[in-house]
Amino acid sequence: MDDLTLAAYAKKIYGFAYAKTHNVQDAEDLSQNILLDLFRIQKDPREIGDLDAYVYRVCRYAWSNFYRREKRYWQMCPDESLSDTPDGADIPDGADTPEEAVLQKELYAVLRRKVMNLSYLRRQITTMFYFENKSGHDIASRLGISPATVRWHLSESRNIIKEQIEMENNLYTPRRLTVYFSGNANNGSLYGLRNDLMTQNICIACADRALPVEDICETIGVAAVYIEEKLADLCMMGYLKKTAGKYRTTFFIRDASFLSSQKQFEMQLFTPLADAIDTVITRHLGDIRALGFLGCDADETLLRWDFITAAAHDYMVEYSLPIHSTIPLRGDGSRHWIDASWSDQAIAEACGGMEEPLYDYIRYSGGCAGKYFGCDTAFLQQFDPPILTGYREFDTRTVEQLSSAAKQAREGVSENETERLMLTRIIEMGMAEMREDHVHMQIPCFTKAELTAYQSLTQTVLLPEITAICGDGLAKSYYNFVYPRLPADLDRAEKEFAATRFYAPNAIPYLLYRAGKLPLPEQAQNTVCTMLYERA
């Protein structure tokens, strides 16, 4: 096999080896043996129908040989180091070869894992019947159900376990999601949907079809006890829908295949828009500076990033298609849509051969955009271009400090110790600096009157000129491309949200940067694409 195929399976092979040997050194030795066996195979991977199953058989064969060779050393180890069979379960005697002994041990380990994957009630029934030797009548009495129901659950459990053992060689690769929400949320993590890998993979597993608990567990490789609480939270929030004992994800997840086609289309759609916005902002940057806001004398490159991204936001909001459906009401009282896609890393692992320009666009065209943070005196609008910065979150206290620094830039450094400390903090963040005892803001800071003047310039000059160059039909073109490619059985409201998601303002400055028309600003971590607006 070729090096690329071996590299793709290396982590999984090591995981297999460690699960068998429970020892780092032995796992490394066994992994090397497996990789060497695969390397010697004179077959093109494309000629192998089920490559995962083929690799798994090679792994099992190599493990059998490895155990036979090392058996004399392992006989000195405690038996539990070689087996994780259920407590009290006897291993059948009579194995003629080391391979048979290994397979018998593994069978008990597999059975225990499969029982742990069953739903709560079936897990109780199966454990009491097979491992506690209780009769069907005893189980029925203890659980308050009929003996016929016990027999039905036992039959279903046997069928499920049999099917899953037959599928044991399926290898699952967990995927990380990038998740945003549109609307309001009471829980920043969305009950694990934004940051918990297991929660995300539950949703991925249920994205294409409804699954019972047992199949979810088998797909992602965890016991039911570890996902039951997560399933409850996901259903409470409406991220999963449970029907007839099966779970289905309610929102659309853009996987690597969908993203590659969508982003390829986006690049073609947005490139003329990026050129139009750059032309108009460059032409009127002097007019924007003339508004006299704090920070109007900042570095030109930094201001171009600020106002090009802001203009992209204004254009996309202005011409986005309306969503006629009501924003989903969540179980905690919040209302929001879910915007989810595979992470950059997941896309890279799935699409190793993707062309670099497309992969870079996927990586750098997204990022959080149009977010707001506020306090009583001011609010902050911010975009996070991935080519320059990661996600930034400013709390109320930071916005208060920025507002105080802006006030001192207008009126002079305060004698109040608290306000001076606020200014010091903003200077440390690089969002202001002292020049000859005067405060100079490094981000645009607008008074209410200056904001009104800027909005008027946007509506009467900037947007009309941009529209005159590239038209107002881009959102409709985006909708017509995306909608037919969405799953046919996806809820109509979710399809409408996904197809009208004509919003990627961070893509515009990235396209200009890639074309050599917009250089990267220096020391922009906290300052880039950040604007402060005073409320009064």
- The pLDDT score that the predictor gives to residue 81 is 34
- CA–CA distance, 28 with 525 (Å, rounded to integer): 42
pLDDT band at 491 (very low <50, low <70, confident <90, very high): very high
The residue-averaged pLDDT of 49-61 equals 79
What does the alpha-carbon distance between residue 158 and residue 109 come to, in Å, rounded to a whole number? 16
Is residue 383 within 8 Å of residue 377, measured between CB atoms?
no
Bridge partners, 327 (sequence order): none
The model's confidence at residue 42, banded by pLDDT at 50, 70 and 90, is confident
Q: What b/e string do you get for 219-239 counting C-beta neighbours within 10 Å, with b at 16 or more?
A: bbebbbeebeebbebbeebeb
> Residue 34: is its pLDDT beyond 90?
no
DSSP labels, 169-181: T-------EEEEE
Q: Identify which of 337, 385, 338 has the alpha carbon closest to the alpha carbon of residue 360.
A: 385
**What pLDDT, on a 0 to 100 scale, did the predictor assign at position 22?**
67
The total number of residues written for the chain in this structure? 536
Which pLDDT score is estimated for 347?
82
pLDDT band of residue 163 (cuts 50, 70, 90) is: low
What is the predicted pLDDT for the residue at 85? 35
In 190-204, which positions are buried (b, 16+ CB within 10 angstroms) versus exposed (e)?
bbbbbebeebbbbbb
122-126, 425-429, 455-459, 494-498: range with lowest mean pLDDT:
122-126
Residue 466 scores a pLDDT above 60: yes
User: Is 83's pLDDT higher than 80?
Assistant: no
- Residue 221: DSSP 8-state: T
- Sheet architecture: strand order including 253-254: 177-184, 335-342, 253-254
Instruction: Express each pLDDT in 179-212 by its tens digit.
Output: 989 899 998 899 999 988 889 999 999 999 999 9
Stretch among 53-62, 67-76, 343-352 having the lowest mean pLDDT: 67-76
Reading phi first (left if > 0) and then psi (alpha if -120 to 50, else beta), residue 445 is in beta
Banded model confidence at residue 89, pLDDT cuts 50, 70, 90: very low
Strands (E), 186-304: 240-243, 246-249, 253-254
pLDDT number for residue 111 = 67
Mean pLDDT of 373-396: 89
The torsion angles phi and psi of 434, rounded to 5 degrees, stand at -100, 130
pLDDT per position as a tens digit, 408-453? 999 998 889 999 999 999 999 989 999 888 999 999 999 999 999 9
Percent of the chain whose predicted confidence (pLDDT) is above 70: 87
Residue type, 281: I
Q: Band the pLDDT of 107: cuts 50, 70, 90.
A: low
- 104 pLDDT tier (thresholds 50, 70, 90): low
Structure pTM? 0.67
The mean pLDDT value for 161-166 works out to 61
**Angle subtended at Cα 526 by Cα 525 and Cα 529, rounded to the nearest 5 degrees:** 95
Q: For residue 81, give the 3-state DSSP assignment.
A: helix
Dihedral over Cα of 45, 48, 51, 53: its sign: negative
Query: How much is the mean pLDDT over the chain?
Result: 85
What was the pLDDT predicted at 91?
39
Q: For residues 519-531, give the mean pLDDT.
A: 85
pLDDT of res. 87? 41
Say if residue 384's pLDDT is above 70.
yes
